[in-house]
Amino acid sequence: MGIQPEAVQGQTALVVEAAPSDGQRAGYAPPAATPPPVITPAPVMPGRYRRILFFFGSVVLRVAVLDIFLSRIGLRGLSRRGRSARYRRMAVEFRRLAIQMGGVLIKIGQFLSARLDVLPEEIINELSGLQDEVPAERFDDVQRLAETELGAALGMRFEAFDRTPMAAASLGQAHRARLHDGNGNAVPVVVKIQRPGIERLIATDLAALHVVGGWLMRYEPIRRRADVPALLAEFTRVLYEELDYIAEGHNAERFAANFRARPGVLVPGVIWSHTTRRVLTLEDVSAIKISDYDAITAAGVDRREVALRLFDTYLKQIFEDGFFHADPHPGNLFVHPNNGAGWGLAFIDFGMVGHVPDNLRQGLREAAIAVATQDGGRLVRSYQRLGVLLPGVDVALLERASTRAFSEFWGRSMGELRSISPRQMRQFTGEFRELMYNMPFQIPQDLIWLGRTVAILSGMCTGLDPDFNLWTNLEPYARKLVAEETTGANLSYWLGELGTLAQGLIGLPRQTGTVLSRIERGDISVNVPDLADRVERLEGTVRQMMGGVVFAAMLLGGVQLMLANQAVFGETLLGGSALALIWMVAGGRRRR
């Protein structure tokens, strides 16, 4: 909707009018999105800058000493002993700091919670629940910014304005208000106002984080799995897009246009006359929060239907639109019990959105079909197409693991997956120990927000319906994708597949004859993957154990001789024990 001022009996009233659609604007256009501001290279808040560096420096130091150094000097068992609790404690410390300081730290916590391929599970679990828990700004400061942006006092622009925010986030806060509709009625709206001084705070935080990123790139496992400067660049881009409320308004309109044919999905209208880069005014579509399960049930809405509609909307966003709402936490989703003929699912907050380019969308479609058809080989090919595999991965082993995972776990609901026996999991991880240890996955930066979104979405659907089954709900959509692939537009794809299959069948007799001939000549040798490496590790372990025995024997013998006043022989044995210790530690480091 749009809002136009109108003079009524000497006073300025506000008349709400229906805004023309995108194709009927007749010269009307909302403001264009502004380019992101230039990042200030030098920190503008030195105290905050130093505090962030001190925290991350202490984390890096603890990890370097307790995880890396101890493991390399042969004390891996001691390092592992308290690792889980140590990681959880560091995540709790970061969460407290983020809530206290707000700003980018909360956003970086949410960003890192999507890095399942880099961070330990204990940190992911703690950060995944990190929402915008910062306290609200003083209303006088927020009011001053809003009035400057809107060019008039709030009392002149709004019929009523609630001083108490309905929600406070790291970058802004939202207030309920009302506008005149020209017929004596008050239209409820939500006014989102940016935090005063947020640009200085962001510049400081980003400057500190770029220093921390340089530290992390010195560690080879992180450098191998993630391009930290590229991740920070992607994070910075998304962050500045989220600061631009005009861009958020455009995102809301694009989302609404994509779901115009689905009346069960609600999107708030943007009131452009009351919107600037730092103030955004939207229709108030809030209702029952999607996580308020008792209220949803009491309103007569089936929670299973809510989970299915939510899941279906994201399948459309990802596979058809290539444009998705990237922050589907419970505060941004509502259930309207009475929406015309039925209930409606409302989306708000379009500051964080994701884009799926055509090439990635094809890879995702391939993965969806592979999962629905339980095709391990096709799933691995989709990984390669998406670029989520590290170089040098054992593709055959990964394909066997995927096929085995389908046979063991496919078709189970989330509740059933959580109740899998530890023995069954140990059998699976034992069979593919090398693969589980190396974890040859990386998430490109253009898939980070999608990965985070899918993880949140899965949790929300399971919360609504504990028996929610990802497999069975994905299968009908995958059949639709397969049907689309068989149309004329994809005929060349299937002709290529048939051609490949035909070539394989034609060459099979000749290849079989070649193999049989080599077996008769005794030219066939069996290659067990990683056997040589495992034997070498075993030999190294035996050598280290022998070194330990020699070290202990010489140490004890030297001490006994020293006590017996045989200083020459005692010192010789003690010196030999020192050499044995050095040889043992150096050998362990070479093997690792």
User: Looking at residues 56-79, what average pLDDT do you find?
Assistant: 82
Evaluate whether residue 523 is within a structural domain.
Answer: no
Tell me if 347 sits within 8 A of 267, measured CB to CB: yes
Match 């959509």 to its residue by tokens: 477
* pLDDT above 80 (res 204): yes
Q: Identify the residue whose tokens are 């689309």.
A: 484
Residue 420, in any domain of the structure: yes
Is residue 521 assigned to a domain?
A: no
Measured in whole angstroms, how far is the alpha carbon of residue 175 from the centre of its chain? 29
Task: Please check whether residue 143 lies inside any domain of the structure.
Answer: yes
* 8 A C-beta contact, residue 291 and residue 463: yes
Q: What is the rounded CA–CA span in Å between residue 209 and residue 226?
A: 15
Q: What is the CATH number of the domain that holds 170?
A: 3.30.200
Over the chain, what is the mean pLDDT? Answer: 75
* 429 and 443 assigned to the same domain: yes
When pLDDT is cut at 50, 70 and 90, the band that residue 521 belongs to is low
The phi and psi torsions of 535 (rounded to 5 degrees) equal -60, -40
Residue 488 sits in the same domain as residue 580: no
Q: What is the pLDDT averaged over residues 515-530?
A: 54
Total domain count, the chain: 4
Q: What is the pLDDT of residue 126?
A: 73
Do 339 and 434 reside in the same domain of the chain?
Answer: yes
Which among 106, 177, 109 is positioned nearest to 146, based on CA atoms? 177
Residues of the domain holding 559: 534-591
Same-domain pairing of 184 and 94: no
177 and 161 Cβ atoms separated by less than 8 Å: yes
Tokens 């659907």: give the residue: 461
Question: Once rounded to an integer, what is the mean pLDDT over residues 294-322?
Answer: 93
Q: How far is CA 451 from CA 109, 113, 178, 296, 583, in A?
A: 15, 10, 38, 28, 46
Ramachandran region, residue 387 (left: φ > 0; alpha: ψ -120 to 50; beta: rest): left
Distance CA 242, CA 60 (A): 29
User: Strands 2-8 and 172-180, how do they pair?
Assistant: unpaired
Q: Which of 242-246, 401-405, 419-423, 460-464 has the lowest mean pLDDT?
A: 419-423
Predicted local distance difference test score (pLDDT) of residue 399: 81
- Domain check: are 363 and 493 in the same one? yes
Rounded to 5 degrees, φ, ψ at 265 are: -115, 125
- The answer to whether residue 539 sits within a structural domain is yes
Distance CA 549, CA 541 (A): 12
Question: Does some domain include residue 167?
Answer: yes
- Sorted by sequence, the CB contacts under 8 Å of residue 115 that are 6+ apart come out as 124, 226, 443, 448
* Per-residue pLDDT tens over the stretch 80-118: 787 888 888 888 888 888 888 877 888 877 766 655 545
Give mean pLDDT, residues 343-368: 88
* Same domain for 426 and 345: yes
Q: Are residues 295 and 332 in the same domain?
A: yes
222: Cβ–Cβ under 8 A, 6 or more apart, which residues? 118, 216, 228
Query: What confidence category does residue 397 fall into, taking pLDDT thresholds of 50, 70 and 90?
Result: confident
Domain annotation covers residue 170: yes
pTM for the full predicted model: 0.69
- Separation CA 152–CA 14 (nearest Å): 13
Both 70 and 101 in a single domain? yes
